[in-house]
Amino acid sequence: MPGAIHKIIRAYQRHKVMPQSPTGDALHLALASVHGCDFLLTWNCVHLANPNKIDHIRHVNERLGLPVPILLTPVDLLGTRI
C-alpha cells in the first residue's frame, strides 16, 4: 500500500471516522478521495453511506486537503427504495 494512502487511512482511524481495519472501508474512502472520484458506491451504511457520518468525513478530508466523494448506495443511485 503506497505511503500516502496508508497515512490517510491512519488519519481516518485516528479521528475515529473508520474502524481500525487497514483494508475495507478506510481504504475505499482513501482511494476514492485521493483519486477525486465524484461518487463512492457502497452497500456499507454503517461507515460510508451514513448521513450521520458525512460531516465527520468531510471535516477530516478537509484537514487532509482531500475532496469528499458523494457516498451513496446503489438504491440511492437508482433513485428507488426497496
Range of the domain at 39: 3-78
Cα–Cα distance, 44 to 80 (Å, whole number): 17
Cell numbers 446503489: residue = 74
Q: How many domains does the chain have?
A: 1
Task: Kindly give the confidence (pLDDT) of every residue in the chain, 82 residues in length, as a single tens digit, with 9 standing for 90 and above.
Answer: 578 999 999 999 999 988 887 668 899 999 999 999 999 999 988 889 888 999 999 999 999 999 999 999 999 888 865 5
Q: pTM of the full predicted structure?
A: 0.85
Task: Identify which of 24, 28, 17, 25 has the alpha carbon closest to the alpha carbon of residue 62.
Answer: 17
Q: Check residue 65 and give left, alpha or beta (phi > 0: left; psi -120 to 50: alpha).
A: left
Residue type (1 letter), 58: R
Helix (H, G, I), strand (E, B) or coil at 57: helix
Type of residue found at 20: Q
What is the C-alpha R_g of the chain?
A: 12
Could you say which DSSP state residue 25 is in?
A: H
